Structure 1
């Protein structure tokens, strides 16, 4: 009985007192007239019980088992009270027949006595035969009382025969009944139903049940992201969550008929320590789920960013140097999820072995048992590698590294019992093992393995061997990054990056990463690429610049791994500068020679450039699904090509005049039979335009400009899907006037598009030719005809003042609905060294509706001319970079002017300004 686990039961609900109150109402007014008063008494008891359990959760915020059992106890007592009242007062029957019997069974989470505050109440009403009128009346009356209490009731009403028949054909019904728990009513009937379920449903279907539950689990994982390290996990259904623990219990109960999770130890599926881990993980996750329900007032199981802070606070996690309370809470959560994964692997392997032993073999080979082969002292059997004895790792802890290296090199799985031993003995990895040259050589072989280093490193991490051997990696184990950009914990991100590098080297990602696929075979040291992938985020969460701190870690670890001095220097540089290439490519004007010159000055060698290009690609892609796209690939490719040319030749291939002439020749080729347009109008565009724009976009602009000029169109808007860039080109040709840029940007935002790049030009005859690269909110091109038409119409309305931009833009939904969960303080920086001609202004702020429009308007009001804009998003953060001049075409250098610009941009980007606009 669950009541035995719950202290202070009467403080939750006093069933005797409640029954007495109901009896008084019935005696005074009769059952029918007393019903409203009875409902009120039941509701009061429910609310007081909930208040008491909420108070207990605040006092003991990690007491998941006690609180969830308390909610089940509360519902039990209400159900019993309602049953007794209905049977005694509403439908009394002095001489019931054998068919007029009823038992009430709690099923599902209610049956497990694991109820969060807003969990469904799943009840099965069982009768001996098809419902008699009396049974139907009692069930209906009970349900009406439960509905009046606003409980979400999932119910079924079946005879025992119906129960058996339906359970045989439906996995979900079978699983729910598997957790059936007697609540009230005819106990003998419950015992009969339990026996029939065991004999007629379970018996002989054990293998089928396990196969179906695992298939169901895999489908659920795929639906939820297929990683236990997604940064907004579903506590109930996500990988490593409560449902995975419940699946273990269901399988154990189905096969071994255990009644509690503790009995999984008795049947040999868990060790005592593993069971304690099971209970710890389960208790913590149940507590988290209770907090989620309490905070939201509903059945919320997803640990979203906006809730993570609140749950962390309620569970008494505090800030520590370099790591916030929410990051510490989530790290603890992911450590529990990781443990669930380890337990699942061991558990299922035991089940598989038990099934294998029970299989009967027939025919001539019935007595044949293949012998395991030996591999360096290990047993290899059935595709698995296993330690030959229980003290194998204790005798020589270097073997804890060796077994994983052998598994990767030979395409083997590590036997689950050996995984269990490795996890148990991981503590034997101490300084002497970490400094052992053989151990480090084995680790480097594993890291750079040719088969599947990602999977084996993940096993190594699950067994806690990885973090013991590389303690710096252990520090980022299960560590989340509290932002909307990173989808995975740091360790999972790192292991995925290594896996991506391995797949690129095999040529499996050539379509998405042709450059990296080519470069990985040109680098002088492939192991530098793998070690850099391992160490690039190794110092996150230490309270400083993780790139600089990580380079220091690399300088210590690389010699230990066996890298020579030049390799160590290269890896340390790559870790220190692993964000350099993406920062330049996404935030700077790649047509500005100064951008390339500064980048090359830092890179210095082709070997560094090749490695940096590879590391940048895998780092971005390993962030999460959809983070890498062809537009980012295009920008990184442009930067690589320009830097490679500069490094290879020692100088820029052409001066300004030669570059313009070469560009015009290339455009002429692209125009084909329309090259006459270039002779007519090409001279109207100055050299800055020819240097800034790619040949293909210039060709489109020339044709568009010609058409607009010939029809004397004062406003011409052209939209063209650019598949190569993964975006849509929007070109606006109009008579130039102040404020044109921010109005066009506003119109594009109103159409639902995101601007990711913009170049603003004015011809020698005073016409603006502005090119915008846009995508939808999912990072894909705007491609449907109605979408393109909407952009044209919206820009036209904005430029003609047919709409009020500011209030309309303020009404648009945020790009990320949960962005307000993050504290992003806007920052404005100025750089007068990054460009020879322009002042570069970078604004980092919380992403919000039409941020670019507001910043562009602020720049216009500060009398600045925007020449180009480069827009980057990192989840909830936006980084908008502007190349500007003053009205005379010069850089902005006066301190007072810079201060005024900064204040205007900070106001435009502030939360207060957003609130004012929304209020308007």
Structure 2
């Protein structure tokens, strides 16, 4: 963007020495010198690259110097190659006016921003018409560049063609806009520059701006439309290098600037903003250079495994509560946040500038829309602005007020005022934080009725949010280094608040019908919004963020003006915000003890309502696809059971009444097959009738009856189960030890992930097992071919037609990037969670057939699995088993439990996986 200063250039490449060597070879050997010329060029390239790698290692953050150094290296090689080709390969003593050739660097190369594996983008500019000499020279130069192993993007155009195409094609227009002279006919290049300004740029400024913004928005959408995704694209993602380049392109097109520093002279940036611009650009360029150096390819996606390695190379170190990689990514997100703020201010300046130009010369030059005043602020064209430069300095509470007014009245904040707010945010001190009016305004904004999410994001980008709530400032741009969370903590929190607002307005009723009802029943809606703000506020401090967050809530809520009752409720919600999701996903909801324990912690309907709402927005704000109908169903079942228990003081029906009521309902649902309940009802024990939903019982009875009439030794039924967003797989077989782990293995071999399993044995010795299955992307199997594959695979596993262990070890892990994380297996035994069963919970790295392996250990340990519940958190899996010993008793503490724990840890370990893969 601006010509980089490159120190000790000859250490990178000595062009004179290289040119002298090439001339000597060509003079002596003529055309036969080519292999030796290539060798000399290659040696110079490799020496230059080695020098740049050394410099990157010595100064790992010097993005401009490194990117400029690589460009300088290529420049010198191109110049030597051009001279060699035009002097010795295709010399032309008396060139005609048409035989003119200029070599231009375009793209990243044109900006002098090259990472180690970047493409070399070259435009060859030809004089009046294409001719044989020019084509021969271009071809010879390209072959030499290719022989060096460089990836070359190239075009050859006459001056007229280049100008014509630039008028029609945005990509070509942008490419020529940043074209840089490298070698050849300088007069031709300068003529092209003049014509480009006169014929392409002049009069097309507004069109270029709108096209560039459209292009930028489309790119953002493709990349996830947030600058806070945890595996960002450093080049094309929001706030990345391409956004910085877009600012420069627009500035260059509209204000004819030649370097980024001239954006200050044009009044588009302050000197301070320019420093921020350069700092962000330097850091992003450095990160990109490290990524290329590590991977050996043009890699732009900052994946989890790369994050750790780049952090190490850039000398980030661990700190209490934050690992080196989390500190590196927090710095990264702060830089892209600065890019976002700069973009808003810059574009507003450009728009105002163009509007003023149009007004000066147009029909409406004398027409001015009158600004109105709202609470002392100027409102004009849907934007709110501070009336003077010292407005916030006179009363810093206004730094909160302006955002509240913007949210309440549905206004945008003028970028110049955003700039003022960012500049004056430091005025928010302890007195302002304790100011009653400021806190009332903040809570009003937080629980605003229009769009609190967008306005809180503006407040965060201006730096006002973190100053007013310093605890929030600590999680600003903080990454959560795992594959479950898609966003930084501050972005996740702001999204959760936005989702809560959408639920309150009824906009998410189809996905969250229960939360949509409950939000209008709670005693204090601001409790819901403050709890959403504070639920993750203590992440990254070391220790349990729920416990630490509850302490923060006790401090902050009184400051926000919440009553003691509201404060206690918010603190309880923050402390227990994971309770409902963990209970629903990891425990057997048909076990009365599960509900008893949950209700014992919740204790009131008001807490339950708030917890259900907070749980829904927290899960959904994690990222796309984390909320699904299966989670909704589980949370709904838990809510309904707990609500009934809290309202009545007991469960409405005892065990016998519950079974009788379910049998009556299933009889009605079965219609003309109602007799199956009478004939088969007693074959299945009470546990079956309590555990299974009505629709699954009806399916099971029909299936079981048909299988027995046909005397099938094995019957497998698969169907898409829409209510839970999964595929229901029912297996009926003669019960025998090891059945569960074999079925699990068969499902895994067919590419299925088991998300829930219930294991039943009839009084006649037949096993009936129900599994809910999804593909590796969390989607159900629904096509006939997929369902057949599941059936065949289960049948093969049960008939011992496949050797499960080696076959399963060969299956690829859907999240291969999970190896970037340290996940040590942990096993917990709980004899208090159920009156009848021992609950075993295994936390481990997600991998192929983990469930099969764990179930096999339980089988070999002579334990009976009654139900299994499987939860995935990105790279981490949590598998929970309800088990008894062969006599139906619990597994007591002691040597046997210790032995089983060791075997389960071994089965879930990385070491075992590696041994199996090697075998």
Q: Is the 8 A contact 1:2 1:73 kept in 2?
A: no
Q: Is the 8 A contact 1:106 1:124 kept in 2?
A: yes
Q: Any gaps of 5 or more consecutive residues in structure 1?
A: none
Counterpart in the other structure of 1:787:
786
Q: Is the 8 A contact 1:535 1:550 kept in 2?
A: yes
Give, in whole Å, the separation in 2 of the partners of 1:881 and 1:150.
54
Q: Is the 8 A contact 1:574 1:608 kept in 2?
A: yes
- Normalised by the length of structure 2, the TM-score is 0.99
Q: 1:611 to 1:784 in 2, by over 3 A?
A: same
Q: Is the 8 A contact 2:97 2:128 kept in 1?
A: no
Could you list the per-position Cα deviations for residues 485-505 of structure 1 after superposition, in whole angstroms to 9, with x for gaps in the alignment?
000000000000000000000
Q: Is the 8 A contact 1:385 1:415 kept in 2?
A: yes
Shift of 1:360: 3.7
Give, in whole Å, the separation in 2 of the partners of 1:264 and 1:740.
71
Shift of 1:28: 2.6
Write out the 4+ residue segments of structure 1 that deviate beyond 4 Å after TM superposition. 1-4, 361-366
Matched, 1:299 2:290: no
Matched, 1:708 2:707: yes
Counterpart in the other structure of 1:192:
191
SS in structure 2 at match of 1:724: helix
Q: 1:379 to 1:788 in 2, by over 3 A?
A: same
SS in structure 2 at match of 1:712: coil
Could you list the per-position Cα deviations for residues 315-358 of structure 1 after superposition, in whole angstroms to 9, with x for gaps in the alignment?
00000000000000000000000000000000000011011111
Q: Is the 8 A contact 2:519 2:525 kept in 1?
A: yes
Matched, 1:748 2:747: yes
Counterpart in the other structure of 1:286:
285
Give, in whole Å, the separation in 2 of the partners of 1:596 and 1:665.
24
What are the equivalent positions in structure 2 for 1:873-912 lying under 5 Å apart?
873-912=872-911
SS in structure 2 at match of 1:732: strand
Shift of 1:91: 1.1
Give, in whole Å, the separation in 2 of the partners of 1:559 and 1:612.
21
Cα RMSD for the two superposed structures: 1.1
Shift of 1:659: 1.2
Q: Is the 8 A contact 1:815 1:847 kept in 2?
A: no
Could you list the per-position Cα deviations for residues 721-778 of structure 1 after superposition, in whole angstroms to 9, with x for gaps in the alignment?
1111111110000000000000000000111111000000100000000000111112
Give, in whole Å, the separation in 1 of the partners of 2:245 and 2:749.
47
Counterpart in the other structure of 1:115:
114
Give, in whole Å, the separation in 1 of the partners of 2:752 and 2:671.
32
Counterpart in the other structure of 1:390:
389
Shift of 1:370: 2.0
Give, in whole Å, the separation in 2 of the partners of 1:678 and 1:794.
31
Counterpart in the other structure of 2:22:
22
Give, in whole Å, the separation in 1 of the partners of 2:24 and 2:466.
65
Counterpart in the other structure of 2:10:
10
Counterpart in the other structure of 1:729:
728
Shift of 1:894: 3.6
Give, in whole Å, the separation in 2 of the partners of 1:746 and 1:21.
67
SS in structure 2 at match of 1:33: helix
Counterpart in the other structure of 1:213:
212
- Normalised by the length of structure 1, the TM-score is 0.99
Give, in whole Å, the separation in 2 of the partners of 1:360 and 1:653.
74
Give, in whole Å, the separation in 2 of the partners of 1:419 and 1:124.
41
What are the equivalent positions in structure 2 for 1:538-687 lying under 5 Å apart?
538-687=537-686
Q: Is the 8 A contact 2:4 2:64 kept in 1?
A: no
Q: Is the 8 A contact 1:3 1:73 kept in 2?
A: no
What are the equivalent positions in structure 2 for 1:237-316 lying under 5 Å apart?
237-316=236-315
SS in structure 2 at match of 1:209: helix
Number of aligned pairs?
919
Shift of 1:62: 0.2
Shift of 1:368: 2.7
Shift of 1:780: 1.5
Give, in whole Å, the separation in 1 of the partners of 2:399 and 2:4.
44
Counterpart in the other structure of 2:531:
532
Counterpart in the other structure of 1:37:
36
Shift of 1:704: 0.4
Could you list the per-position Cα deviations for residues 892-916 of structure 1 after superposition, in whole angstroms to 9, with x for gaps in the alignment?
0041111011011001000010011
Q: 1:2 to 1:441 in 2, by over 3 A?
A: closer
Moved more, 257-266 or 655-664: 655-664
Shift of 1:364: 8.6
Counterpart in the other structure of 1:418:
417
SS in structure 1 at match of 2:755: strand
SS in structure 1 at match of 2:870: strand
What are the equivalent positions in structure 2 for 1:42-441 lying under 5 Å apart?
42-360=41-359, 367-441=366-440
Give, in whole Å, the separation in 2 of the partners of 1:113 and 1:517.
54
Could you list the per-position Cα deviations for residues 337-391 of structure 1 after superposition, in whole angstroms to 9, with x for gaps in the alignment?
0000000000000011011111148999652312111111110111011000001
Shift of 1:692: 1.1
Moved more, 7-16 or 124-133: 124-133
Shift of 1:850: 0.7
SS in structure 1 at match of 2:660: helix
Shift of 1:815: 2.2
Q: 1:678 to 1:150 in 2, by over 3 A?
A: same
Shift of 1:403: 0.1
Could you list the per-position Cα deviations for residues 158-194 of structure 1 after superposition, in whole angstroms to 9, with x for gaps in the alignment?
1000000111111000001100000000111111011
Could you list the per-position Cα deviations for residues 439-480 of structure 1 after superposition, in whole angstroms to 9, with x for gaps in the alignment?
000000000000000000000000000000000000000000
